[in-house]
Amino acid sequence: MKRRALLAAGAAGLLGCAGGDGGVPLWFSYGGKNREALLALVAAFNAEFPAHRLSPVYQGDYFELLAKLRTSLHAGRAPAVTHVIAEVMPYLVSADVLEPLDGLPGLGGDLGFVEPLAQAGAFTNGAPDRLYGVPFNRSTPIAYYNGDVLREIGREPAATWDDLVSFAAAAQKGDEASRRWGFSVPVDWWFWVAMLGQAGGSLVDASGAFTLGGDAGVRALAFLQELVYERRLMRPPPGRDYNAWQVQNAEFLAGRVATIWTSTAFVRYLEDNAKFPVVCAPLPRLERAAVPTGGTMFVVPKGGPPAWHEAAGHFLAFMSRPDRSNEFATKTGYIPVTRAGITLLEQAGYYEKKPNDRVAVDQLANVMPWPWHRELFRVQREVVQARLESAVLERRDAREILDAARAAIERAR
Amino acid sequence: MRPRAAMHPYLMVAPTVLVLALFFVYPLFAAAYESVHAWDLLTPRRYVGLENYRELSQSGALWGAFSRTLGFGAVVVVFSVGLGLLLAISLNRPGRLYELLRGAIFSAYVVSWVAVALLWMWILDADAGLLTRSLRGLALPTTSWLGNPDAALWSIAGVTVWKITGYAMVVFLAGLQSIPRSLHEAAALDGAGPLARFRYVTWPALRPTTAFVATTSLIMSFQAFDVIRVMTQGGPVRSTTLFVYAIYEEVFMNLRVGRASALVVVFFGVLVVLTLLNLWALGVSQARRARA
């Protein structure tokens, strides 16, 4: 064992990208509770597997980490293991920069993952047979309500889009200077995809071509415009990407908005910091209930020495154990990624004590898988996101905007 | 002074030439090369000719970044120079109070951009921000300063002016203090009032200083990145995506090295044109002075 550790350290040193303290580098995103929970798990792994000691290195938010990962892959200095947003996996796999994981120690066979959260169930339209990602930080969007407001206006969480409108209208109060807004959601691709699904559409057609939901995509976008301009029940939070999410969380915590849609990842954070009871609920339906999955997958970049792959395999197997995945999930609000883990929590009566944690688990029945498409990530970042902002913030015609997006996707092919 | 050996001057400038070649000339040629390729750092690069330029042009990204950057630069230069000059003239007096005021105004310039951005995010908050509350208190209209596509760029320009005006003020103060007092005294004896003294004595003497402040302010405005990264991330609806941020976004967010390089090449062209205009304006001004 000692010899193996020395070899690993030597190889890492030669590659020049070992962690700060000479361990096997693990890159991760996000601070706060998520960081604390992950670092505790890494410490437990290091205690159990001292020969494969990991050095966790914080690399900013998901997009910052991805940028650094690409440059490190190009420079031949990629970490041993990292996590990336799930939507970028088709791109990375097609670029042949990820190591298949099913050959790594402890990662063969059925790992007991919750299907909609794992690679096999999170993607459709040509996902590969080989395993490239182990689910981690997996989430769905959910609705958060200010419990005091629910009591104040005597309402239940909205079950349909119509309910949402009437709830927001009843909850909104105050003048411009001290308004409590009825509803808020970041103008973001993730939530628009959820609404597109609720309106009965899907991102791609049977052949895998991007339709952006057709009429359902337009309905989703038009509904956001209606909430902002006609009904004046929502003010889109400023900023882009995750900054908008943070601003929205702050407004919810300050009591300036009655209900928000955001990731289940914030359950613990919002519960711990709110001065009012936080009530979580599934997203409302229109034609049907639908949510996309979010969050990341652990991946192993190609190019590392065998000792790193071995360490990565042990670590991913460790993180896939029901007790370990539950530890992360219960500390943060992310969904437990193993079936056995959920069963364990059910048997222990955890969800009776923490009903908010149950919402995302129940929503897994309504998950819309992402298309396994090389350009999925670019369609999101380059083509759709800015156009969604334009439609909502500049009040442009929803159909024209999505037609332009489809034309841009076609041009880029 | 004659060098002892013919090679000595070349040896003396060699380190500078080497650094310039390595960190400025080579990257520029590399950017020009990449701009005619499609590359994502992960897969082999592919020659695409002028496709990146065509796509940037057709999508409106090029013109958008160009017009926003020029507009932003113009606002920042005009206001930082104007306010800097006004403050310098107002505070160019002896006394503890004036020293304190000069120090306080200049202090914004030495604070990091990130700290400034965070402070102004709080001030510009659409609900609870200091500016919003003050305007509401005065019954004046307000908006979502960073969330409204029509307001966000000008809000960031305002923050930039606030930060760099102290620098402009200090340079103008140095310029003012280098003007011989005798010129003002002679003009006063000839019956020139404060405005006439400013127009015929102070302003002509400050022209080189103004050119310097304007040029450095323009450079600072063109380099704007941190403040945008922290405050708006280029949004809403790309309304604050200036050239440098657009380059960052293309290469690091959209995985398109070729398009980012095309933006670099165009940006370089814009800077060359502006530099030539600056040199031309300086030449005209010097010729006028020589004729006078």
Beta bridge partner(s), residue B7? none
Predicted confidence (pLDDT) at residue A19 exceeds the cutoff of 60: no
- Taking the C-alpha atoms of residue A20 and residue A59, their distance in angstroms, rounded to an integer, is 13
Instruction: Say whether residue A354 is in contact with chain B using an 8 A CB cutoff.
Output: no
Contact between B233 and A240 using a beta-carbon 8 Å cutoff: yes
Chain A residues within an 8 Å CB radius of B136: 176-177
Instruction: Say whether residue B254 is in contact with chain A using an 8 A CB cutoff.
Output: yes
Chain A residues within an 8 Å CB radius of B127: 179, 251, 256
Domains, chain A, ordered by start: 2-138+294-366 (3.40.190.10), 141-292+375-412 (3.40.190.10)
Secondary structure of B207-276 in HEC code, one letter for each residue = HHHHHHHHHHHHHHHHCCCHHHHHHCCCCCCCCCCCHHHHHHHHHHHCCCHHHHHHHHHHHHHHHHHHHH
Tell me which DSSP letter residue A368 carries: P
Q: In this predicted structure, what is the pLDDT of residue B30?
A: 95
Contact between A381 and B253 using a beta-carbon 8 Å cutoff: yes
* Å between B65 CA and nearest CA of chain A: 14
Residue B272 falls inside a structural domain: yes
Instruction: Say whether residue B240 is in contact with chain A using an 8 A CB cutoff.
Output: no
| Chain B residue with minimum CA distance to A93 | B42
Contact between B40 and A95 using a beta-carbon 8 Å cutoff: yes
pTM exceeds 0.90 for this model = no
Interface with A, mutate which of B34, B40, B54, B127 (most A CBs under 10 A): B127
Chain A residues within an 8 Å CB radius of B231: 239
Residue B38 falls inside a structural domain: no
Using the CB atoms, write b or e for A72-89: b if 16+ within 10 Å. Answer: bbeeeebbbbbbbbbbbb
Q: Nearest by CB to B41, which of A74, A179, A235?
A: A74
Taking a C-beta distance cutoff of 8 angstroms, is the pair A345, A330 a contact?
Answer: yes
What does DSSP say about strands B46-47 and B37-38: parallel, antiparallel, or unpaired?
antiparallel
Predicted confidence (pLDDT) at residue A137 exceeds the cutoff of 60: yes
Predicted confidence (pLDDT) at residue A129 exceeds the cutoff of 90: no
Rounded to 10°, the helix B26-34/B257-291 angle is: 130
Q: Nearest by CB to B144, which of A238, A254, A394?
A: A238
Using the CB atoms, write b or e for A178-197: b if 16+ within 10 Å. Answer: eebbbbbbbbbbbbbbbbbb
Per the prediction, chain A carries an average pLDDT of 89
**ipTM confidence:** 0.78
Chain A residues within an 8 Å CB radius of B140: none
Banded model confidence at residue A178, pLDDT cuts 50, 70, 90: confident
Instruction: Say whether residue B59 is in contact with chain A using an 8 A CB cutoff.
Output: yes
Q: Nearest by CB to B233, which of A243, A377, A381?
A: A243
Residues near A280 by beta carbon (within 8 Å), at least 6 away in sequence: A142, A143, A144, A145, A264, A267, A355, A356, A359, A360
Which residue, A85, A75, A83, A87, is CA-closest to A56?
A83
Q: Nearest by CB to A240, which of B126, B133, B235?
A: B235
Predicted confidence (pLDDT) at residue A15 exceeds the cutoff of 60: no
Taking a C-beta distance cutoff of 8 angstroms, is the pair A261, A142 a contact?
Answer: yes
Q: Nearest by CB to A393, which of B126, B236, B253?
A: B236
Q: In this predicted structure, what is the pLDDT of residue A21?
A: 61
Rounding to the nearest 10 degrees, give the CA dihedral for residues B193, B194, B195, B199.
100
Instruction: Say whether residue B46 is in contact with chain A using an 8 A CB cutoff.
Output: no
- Taking the C-alpha atoms of residue A340 and residue A345, their distance in angstroms, rounded to an integer, is 9
| Chain A residue with minimum CA distance to B122 | A247
- Taking the C-alpha atoms of residue B156 and residue B117, their distance in angstroms, rounded to an integer, is 9
- Taking the C-alpha atoms of residue B158 and residue A278, their distance in angstroms, rounded to an integer, is 38
Using the CB atoms, write b or e for A386-397: b if 16+ within 10 Å. Answer: bbbbbbbbeebe
Q: Is A299 helix (H, G, I), strand (E, B) or coil?
A: strand
What does DSSP say about strands A141-146 and A81-85: parallel, antiparallel, or unpaired?
unpaired
Q: Nearest by CB to A67, which of B55, B237, B253?
A: B253
Q: Is A323 helix (H, G, I), strand (E, B) or coil?
A: helix
Instruction: Say whether residue A256 is in contact with chain B using an 8 A CB cutoff.
Output: yes
- Taking the C-alpha atoms of residue A385 and residue B249, their distance in angstroms, rounded to an integer, is 13
- Taking the C-alpha atoms of residue A293 and residue A87, their distance in angstroms, rounded to an integer, is 10
Using the CB atoms, write b or e for A352-375: b if 16+ within 10 Å. Answer: eebebbbbbbebbebbbbbbbbeb
The sign of the CA dihedral B229, B232, B233, B238 is negative
**Half-sphere exposure of residue B108: CA atoms within 13 angstroms, side-chain side:** 22
Predicted confidence (pLDDT) at residue A336 exceeds the cutoff of 90: yes
- Taking the C-alpha atoms of residue A385 and residue A240, their distance in angstroms, rounded to an integer, is 9
Contact between A73 and B126 using a beta-carbon 8 Å cutoff: no
Contact between B146 and A394 using a beta-carbon 8 Å cutoff: no
- Taking the C-alpha atoms of residue A258 and residue B285, their distance in angstroms, rounded to an integer, is 62
Tell me which DSSP letter residue A335 carries: P
Give the pLDDT confidence of A71-90 residue by residue, as tens digits.
Answer: 999 899 999 999 999 999 99
Instruction: Say whether residue A173 is in contact with chain B using an 8 A CB cutoff.
Output: no
The H or E element containing residue A389 is: helix A385-393
Contact between A408 and B59 using a beta-carbon 8 Å cutoff: yes
B153: exposed, middle or buried (Cβ count in 10 Å: 0-12, 13-18, 19+)? buried
The sign of the CA dihedral A43, A45, A46, A47 is positive
* Å between A192 CA and nearest CA of chain B: 16
Chain B residues within an 8 Å CB radius of A394: 149, 237
Residue B21 falls inside a structural domain: no
Chain A residues within an 8 Å CB radius of B146: 238-239
Which residue, A86, A27, A82, A35, is CA-closest to A59?
A27
- Taking the C-alpha atoms of residue A24 and residue A308, their distance in angstroms, rounded to an integer, is 6
Q: Nearest by CB to B254, which of A96, A239, A378?
A: A378
| Chain B residue with minimum CA distance to A74 | B41
* Å between B115 CA and nearest CA of chain A: 16
Chain B residues within an 8 Å CB radius of A408: 59
* Å between A389 CA and nearest CA of chain B: 5
Q: What is the CA radius of gyration of chain A?
A: 22
Give the pLDDT confidence of A259-311 residue by residue, as tens digits.
Answer: 999 999 899 999 999 999 999 999 999 999 999 999 999 999 998 899 999 99
Beta bridge partner(s), residue A234? A183
Residue B110 falls inside a structural domain: yes
Residue B167 falls inside a structural domain: yes
Taking a C-beta distance cutoff of 8 angstroms, is the pair A199, A213 a contact?
Answer: yes
Contact between A74 and B234 using a beta-carbon 8 Å cutoff: no
Q: Is A13 helix (H, G, I), strand (E, B) or coil?
A: helix
Q: Nearest by CB to B237, which of A176, A254, A390?
A: A390
Report the 10 Å Cβ neighbour count for B202. 19
Taking a C-beta distance cutoff of 8 angstroms, is the pair B231, B121 a contact?
Answer: yes
Instruction: Say whether residue A407 is in contact with chain B using an 8 A CB cutoff.
Output: no
Instruction: Say whether residue B64 is in contact with chain A using an 8 A CB cutoff.
Output: no
Q: Which residue has the higher pLDDT, A200 or A60?
A: A200
Here the tokens at position A105 are: 């120690």
The sign of the CA dihedral A136, A137, A143, A147 is positive
Taking a C-beta distance cutoff of 8 angstroms, is the pair A116, A122 a contact?
Answer: yes
Q: In this predicted structure, what is the pLDDT of residue A8?
A: 43
Q: For the domain that residue B220 is a member of, what is the CATH number?
A: 1.10.3720.10
Residue B139 falls inside a structural domain: yes
Q: What is the mean pLDDT of residues A213-242?
A: 87
Instruction: Say whether residue A163 is in contact with chain B using an 8 A CB cutoff.
Output: no
Instruction: Say whether residue A251 is in contact with chain B using an 8 A CB cutoff.
Output: yes
What does each of the 292 residues of chain B score in pLDDT, given as a tens digit? 788 888 999 999 999 999 999 999 999 999 999 999 999 888 899 999 999 999 899 888 899 999 999 999 999 999 999 999 999 999 998 889 999 999 999 999 999 999 999 999 999 988 778 998 899 889 888 888 888 889 999 999 999 999 999 999 999 999 999 999 899 889 989 888 889 999 999 999 998 899 889 989 998 999 999 999 999 888 888 899 999 999 999 988 888 999 999 999 999 999 899 888 877 877 777 777 677 6
How many independent structural domains does chain B possess? 1
Q: What percent of chain A has pLDDT over 70?
A: 93
Which residue, A299, A308, A370, is CA-closest to A83?
A299
Contact between A70 and B254 using a beta-carbon 8 Å cutoff: no
| Chain A residue with minimum CA distance to B38 | A412
